[in-house]
Amino acid sequence: MSLQKGLPEEIAALDEDLAFTSRQIEARKKIAEERLKLRERLNATINDCKEKIRSFKEKQTLARNNKEYDALSKQIEYEEKEIAQSEIQLQDIAHTEHHAQELQKKGRDLIAENRYDEISEEMMPDDVLHQQLEDLSKQVGLKKEELDGIVIETAEEIARLRKTLDTQRSVVTAEAKRLLDKYDHLKSGTLQNAVVKLDRHACSGCNTRVPTNRHTLIVQGGFYVCESCGRIVVHERLFEEAAVETK
């Protein structure tokens, strides 16, 4: 209803923005947690390898022959390679995190210059995302409170209109059920206006010309189903009469 001032659409749009921002934050949180777990695992591997190396070197001092010493040397070499590979992965993590920080720094600079259209998702600073989430949550809450207030205030009017609508549908169903079924079918689709005016001998929904032999029927209060878009075409007078009755 017009009394709702487009609030349902505003709330839906805000909810969509809120969900998108939440997904961004959750995705970053998940990545951070995975990196932390990987870093802990790599550090544990390094410490474990260092402990093994220390043990192998102690055993080397007790080696009874060159064969035992060389075998321990190979084990030490293997553990050192494990350490080197883990350290490379730790460096990659650090590099990735540094790159992410640099992107966010660039995003912060763009925000300061009011160049929001140049900011990618990766550039949006973490704190700005969390602030957006908080602001959007507050907006949604306020809009919903406003809508709830309007619904309560207009409950009687809505009930009256629904009763009138049900009565009208009953009349139309009795007189022109096929037309009502057509209207319901159009409204269930993507069309925003199922019933349109005859404008300059054409369907105002798609601008397709209405056959001349249908003009008289429409002028007399009848209807024509557009062969191009499927909309129900009626005379402009019916819209005016409906507006007067609504008032």
Residues 117 and 100 sit within 8 Å (Cβ to Cβ): no
pTM over 0.75: no
Same domain? 83 vs 145: yes
| 41 plus 90 within the same structural domain | yes
240 and 118 in a common domain: no
User: Length of the chain in residues, anyone?
Assistant: 247
The structural domain count of the chain equals 2
Name the burial class of residue 233, with classes exposed (0-12), middle (13-18) and buried (19+) by CB atoms within 10 angstroms of its CB.
Answer: buried
Does residue 182 belong to any structural domain of this protein?
A: no
Q: Which two three-digit tokens encode residue 168?
A: 């009208």
Residue 190 has pLDDT above 60, yes or no: yes
pLDDT tens digits, 207-218:
888 888 888 888
Q: With a cut of 80, say whether residue 238 has pLDDT above it.
A: no
Tell me the pLDDT tens digit for each residue of 92-121: 999 999 999 999 999 999 999 999 999 999
Domain enclosing residue 234, as ranges: 190-246
| N-to-C CA span, the chain | 14
| 3-class DSSP state of 224 | strand
Mean pLDDT computed over every residue of the chain: 87
Domain end among 123, 152, 181? 152
Q: Please state, in angstroms and rounded to a whole number, the distance separating the CA atoms of residues 108 and 123.
A: 8
122, 152, 182 - which closes a domain: 152
Distance of CA 117 to the CA centre of its chain: 18
pLDDT tens, 157-174?
Answer: 777 777 777 776 666 565
Look at residue 171 and tell me if it is in a domain: no
Place of tokens 């199922």: 194
CA distances 230 to 131, 143, 144, 198, Å, are 47, 36, 36, 14
